[in-house]
Amino acid sequence: MRHQRAGKKLGRDSAHRKALYANLTGSLIEHGRIKTTVTKAKAVKPIAEQMITLGRRGDLHARRQATAFLRSRDVVHHLFSEIAPRFKDRPGGYTRIVKIGPRAGDAAEMAYLELVDGEVQAGPARAAAAPAARAAAAPADTAEAAEEPAAVEEPVDETATAPEGEPEVVSEPVAEAEPAGDEPVEPEAAGEEAAGDEPAESDPPA
């Protein structure tokens, strides 16, 4: 019975398979992304995450364990000094597999195995930060909602003052009595002319 025989053989013996996993994991740590088959990517993914977990521990024993598997001090140094600090606040899930379709030669399913960039807060901290974020977003929404009615009320006030001004303008036509003032002026001038003409006409009889 095949107890404790989990994992893919990949058509290789144990030594060849272990060397393959070490080389692929080292390349992933060094370059940040590798292109391989989906089967190999699924087999290397948990091993690479175990190496990053050792890097997060950072003690001497973890460094020796990583060196024993990766077989390269340069890769281990890069892992502990640059890769592990990027994931200090991320509790797992350091890599991802992105499928890119079949290979041209033998139609094998290909994929990118790459490191996940960015830091993610732990569950409890994220849950505690969520209400604060909502509270911070709520005042902004209410402020915007308060500003919108204010902008709408301004034209309403202008239209409200306009009807009040209209009756005032209608009451002003009293000033239009000026034409009535002009009318008496014309008769006065006409009267003066008439008064001046009458003596002229009365002079000949004298």
Q: Both 27 and 114 in a single domain?
A: yes
- Residue where a domain terminates, one of 119, 146, 165: 119
**pLDDT digit string (tens) for 34-69?**
999 999 999 999 999 999 999 999 999 999 999 999
Per the rule left: phi > 0, alpha: psi between -120 and 50, beta: everything else, 38 is: alpha
Residues 6+ apart with CB under 8 A from 29: 48, 51, 52, 70, 75, 78, 79, 83
- Residue 168 tokens read as 């005032």
Tell me whether residue 1 is in a domain: no
- Residue where a domain terminates, one of 99, 119, 139: 119
**pLDDT digit string (tens) for 143-174?**
444 455 444 455 444 444 444 444 444 444 44
Q: Both 156 and 186 in a single domain?
A: yes
Q: For the domain that residue 67 is a member of, what is the CATH number?
A: 3.90.1030.10
Q: Both 76 and 100 in a single domain?
A: yes
Average pLDDT over residues 100-121: 86
Q: Say what the pTM is.
A: 0.56
Q: Both 112 and 130 in a single domain?
A: no
> Looking at the chain, how many residues does it have?
206
Residue 136 pLDDT level (bands cut at 50, 70, 90) = low
Q: Both 112 and 146 in a single domain?
A: no
Q: Give the structural domain span for 55.
A: 14-119
Tell me whether residue 183 is in a domain: yes
Total structural domains within the chain: 2
Q: Both 48 and 97 in a single domain?
A: yes
Average pLDDT over residues 17-44: 96
Q: Both 113 and 29 in a single domain?
A: yes
What does residue 9 show for φ and ψ, rounded to 5 degrees? -85, -30
Q: Which of 126, 97, 118, 87 is nearest to 28 (CA)?
A: 97
- Residue where a domain terminates, one of 119, 146, 178: 119
